[in-house]
Every structure is written in structure tokens, then in C-alpha cells.
Homo-oligomer: A and B are copies of this chain.
Amino acid sequence: MNDEERLARAALSRLAEPGDHRYTSLAAELGAVEFHRQLLMQRDLHGVLIDAAARLASTDPEAELARAATLGIRFVIPGDDEWPRQLDDLAMAGELHERGGVPIGLWVRGPLRLDRLEESVAVVGSRSATTYGTSVAGEIAAVAARAEVTVVSGAAYGIDQAAHRGAVAMGGPTVAVLACGADRIYPKAHAALIEHIAATGAVVSEAPLGCSPQRVRFLARNRLIAALTRGTVIVEAAVRSGALNTANWADRLNRSVMGVPGPVTSAPSGGVHQLIRTGGATLVTSGHEVLEMVGKAGEHLLAPPRGPETSRDLLPVRQRQVLDAVPVATGASVPSIARVAGLGLLEVRSALSRLHAAGLVEEADDGWRLAALART
């Protein structure tokens, strides 16, 4: 990767809003170097010049890359060894809320290489989460981290925070994708968490240094969380929550979309329920079910959950019926058992002898009763 490409992309990163599809598509179409050159020549392409003109003069990509380096931030661009190739899927995924496309580049702080995110899962949800939601999100993230699946989230209050913490608690690396510059901390209250992630995992942003978090930048950021990972788990999301935007991106990108249900009386579960209900997400109840969905084929496969199987389940229906009619303590006669069971004497005698052979009933002085095996 030559310097010219990186400088052109650093300049475009400053000119473009994250996920502005005009920029991302022109960069893909013309190449970043040529696109940037044409802008410098005041050529208006798809109307972006008017947009960029105010910032074009003040852009200094060399200084910007140098400043990033002093802050421990690298600029990862398509073609780099570290480039997470799964992001290239964004080229085909269209637009949502006027955002879309492969990012011009990613500003990254932290030791985790982004090309190591093949085994990863996004765990996202409501800022105004319940203790139920944060507890489930933390547990899912912990199970993922134990299985060496990297947890990606947005460092927001509520579910995001719980997801990062769950991964951190297991010593697993985790990735925070921010809507502000990678040098900034948002929300401020998560300074310690974000610094810990920068020290052990990666803090990632499509926006250049110094950018403030803004609503449209959150929408652009959500597409990266969905695109970086194999699947997205929504833990709690009210109807119209931003987390559903991430789910929508994951769906467009053919990633797994998973939803954790909750009480139907809980508003923060409303959006998740709607998503599951309409077939937009698969219901998941545990980290193991999540791993099953995001694992490589054949990995993390779960046996379907089942209750304990008892010896009575294995009996033919008629024997079960007789067994039901045999008393626990005081013995009963065959006619009495036949009456209770609503069966004929012959059938009852035949069933009792089989049940006796199986050790499930015993004959006492006062008649038939359950054996110890059948009483447990």
C-alpha cells in the first residue's frame, strides 16, 4: 500500500461524513487517489464538491496521520494487511438512512488487529436497559469471550456497556466502534472502560480525529458493527431503537440477526419481539445458542434442550396407563386398578406383569403398589 493512497484516504476521511454513500461510491469507482485529485482540481462529482469545498482548503492529511500516530491511532485502509475484508460486503448492501458503502478508512486505537475479527459477534441494545437486559448481555458476551469469539459493540450506556464488560471479565479482547473520533471518549462516563478496551482490544471509528458523536454518525457506525461481525445479537431494544438499525444492516449483509426475548410487559424488549415476530431475527436465550449461530459450520453445535427422560416415558401407552392407576403406598386389587384405569382385567393383568418385570410395581399382601423405582 503506497503512501499516496493512504494520504488521499486520510483527506477524504476528513471531507466525507462517515458512510456518506456519494463519497464511498466515488472512492470505489475512481479510486481514492483519483477522486481526491479531481476534488483538488475543483471538479464537482455527484455534487460532493459543494459539500466538501468549505473543508478542502484546510485539509492536511500528512499532519493528520502524524498527529494520529502520536495518539497511538493508526489509519487502516482497504488493501492493508489489517483491513477486515468482511467490510467489503458493504459495497453491495445498498443504503439505509442515506448511509452506506465501504468506509474510506478506519481510525484504530488498540493492539487488536482488525483482520482478527473473523470470529466475532456484535452484542448491542438499548441505552435505557433493564437489569435483566444488562445481565443477559453480560452473560452472552462472557460466553462468547470464553470461546475466543470477539465481542463488538458501541460503548454506549446499557446493553453495549454490559457486553464489553462481560467480555473484559473473561479476559477476552473486545472492540468498541464509536460514532465520534477514535481520540475522543463518548460517553464520558465510560472513560475507564474505553481506555481499557484501547489497551487490550480496539477502539475503532470511521470519523476522523476530534469529531463529535452525532445522530447520523451513529447510524453510519451501526453499519460497521453489523459488517465487522458474523452476527448481531439485540438484547433489548424498544420499538424504533437504534439497535434495530444495526439489526437491519446485519440482515442486509446476510449476517445472523439474533434477538433475546424478555417479558412482553417490558418496553425495552418491544423492538426485539417485533423483530423476532416478523422473522427479522432468530430468538436466542443463551451465549451457547449465539455461538451456534455465529460459529463456523459444525462448530458450537448444541444438542436441543430437553427435560429429563424417565423410565415411564419409555413404556407403551397401556402400561403407562396402568402404572398411573397403581397406588403409591397401600396396595390395590387388580379389579380396583382396572376400574381406575378404565381398562379390562386381562389388559391390567398383562400390563402389571410387564411392569413387575421392569421393577416398577410390586405385589404386597394388600395388592399391587408402586415399587421404589416408580416412586422417584
Give A residues with C-beta under 8 Å from B: 17, 50-55, 97-98, 132, 135-136, 207, 211-212, 214-216, 238-240, 260-265, 269-270, 273-274, 276-278, 282-286, 289, 304-307, 317, 320-321, 324-325, 338, 340-347
Contact between A277 and B285, CB atoms less than 8 A apart:
yes
CB pairs A–B below 8 angstroms (30 shown) = A17-B321, A50-B347, A53-B344, A54-B346, A55-B344, A97-B317, A132-B263, A132-B265, A136-B264, A212-B340, A212-B342, A214-B321, A214-B324, A215-B320, A216-B317, A216-B320, A216-B321, A216-B324, A239-B305, A240-B307, A261-B261, A261-B273, A262-B263, A262-B264, A264-B285, A264-B286, A274-B304, A274-B305, A277-B283, A277-B284
Contact between A265 and B54, CB atoms less than 8 A apart:
no
Contact between B263 and A263, CB atoms less than 8 A apart:
yes
In the complex, chain B residues whose CB is within 8 Å of the CB of A305: 239, 270, 274
Q: Shortest beta-carbon distance, A211 to chain B, in Å? A: 6
In the complex, chain B residues whose CB is within 8 Å of the CB of A321: 17, 214-216
Contact partner, A136, options B52, B97, B265, B338, Cβ 8 Å: B265
Chain B: CB-nearest residue to A350:
B50
Chain B: CB-nearest residue to A341:
B214
Give 20 new A-B contacts, CB below 8 A, not counting A50-B347, A260-B264.
Answer: A51-B343, A54-B338, A97-B317, A98-B317, A132-B265, A207-B342, A215-B324, A216-B320, A238-B307, A239-B305, A239-B306, A239-B307, A240-B306, A261-B269, A261-B273, A262-B262, A276-B283, A277-B284, A277-B289, A278-B304
A273 to B305, CA, bound (A): 11
A207 to B321, CA, bound (A): 14
A11 to B330, CA, bound (A): 33
Q: Shortest beta-carbon distance, A239 to chain B, in Å? A: 5
A57 to B343, CA, bound (A): 13
In the complex, chain B residues whose CB is within 8 Å of the CB of A260: 264
A135 to B320, CA, bound (A): 34
A-B pairs, top 3 by smallest CB distance, nearest first, are A54-B344, A261-B261, A240-B307
In the complex, chain B residues whose CB is within 8 Å of the CB of A207: 342
A304 to B270, CA, bound (A): 12
In the complex, chain B residues whose CB is within 8 Å of the CB of A346: 50, 53-54
A238 to B274, CA, bound (A): 23
Q: Shortest beta-carbon distance, A132 to chain B, in Å? A: 6
A261 to B274, CA, bound (A): 12
Known: A214-B324, A342-B17. A261 touches B239 (CB 8 A): no
A358 to B98, CA, bound (A): 21
Contact between A283 and B285, CB atoms less than 8 A apart:
no
